[in-house]
Amino acid sequence: MIDPVAFAIGPIVIRWYALAYLAGIFLGVGYGMLLLKRKSLWVNGTPPMTPDELFDFTFWIVIGIIIGGRLGYVVFYDPLVFAANPGQIIALWDGGMSFHGGMLGLMVAIIVYLSRKKANILSGLDLLACCATIGLFLGRVANFINAELYGSVTTMPWGVIFPGAGDLPRHPSQLYEGLLEGVLLFLVIRYFTHVKLVLRRPGIAAGIFGIGYALSRIFVEFFRLPDSHIGYLAFGWLTMGMVLSLPILVAGIALIVWARTRRHA
């Protein structure tokens, strides 16, 4: 029983979820600046942007997350309801954001921003891959605080009884995702960027992120309950989250193969 409201000042209510978004952006920008300042990590010693430009780029990131995340939820998870009530599409305060849609929005933002600056787009994707895991971790912790996106019933000793989900303990699937997509994936990418120096081969870090996220999400989907209005798509276990993660997995593999082949050529 954790209050989803962090604090309130009169009519102004600040929720943990909003703070998680803000903290993820600020911490991600801070880590990104550290990476950009270490020019030796990047191909030809040339980062995709300067640390100062990262603040401008962050604006594009936020817009991409909001528009892509919301439209992704509308299209992937509840198209009929929003088709009947199109005015609800902009009702962000009612909740409903899709990570996969947010990722597409981010990619569009990156391509548009870096194309205008004639910078290396793949290096921009690599930068985002290094920083995004921070926001993923904080976002999943916020899901746990909100008692949403929980898992199936479990007898494991770390099972959690969530408000509104009955009296039986359930898998804290939000924390599973936070640890896999956030902490573990951050450490893996950090190893490859700072030990294997893969930022010198644009596209590999982004590919590692795509593979790591997709595999983590697909694994956790076996414990996480699907959205109630969608349910399982087939076989009693296939979920929309799994289906949407498959293209990310394929794209991640393709990025790594392409980056390694290009370097060899």
Strand partners, 160: 170
| CA dihedral sign of residues 31, 32, 35, 39 | negative
CA dist 59 to 28, 65, 95, 97, 125, Å? 13, 10, 21, 18, 16
Report the C-alpha gap between 82 and 246 in whole angstroms: 25
Helices (H) and strands (E) in the chain, counts: 9, 2
Residue 140 labeled ligand binder = yes
Q: Are strands 5-9 and 12-15 parallel, antiparallel or unpaired?
A: antiparallel
Report the C-alpha gap between 197 and 127 in whole angstroms: 13
Question: Do residues 140 and 182 lie in contact, with contact meaning Cβ atoms separated by under 8 Å?
Answer: yes
Helix (H), strand (E) at residue 56: helix 51-77
Report the C-alpha gap between 4 and 83 in whole angstroms: 30
Q: Which residues are annotated as a binding site?
A: 140
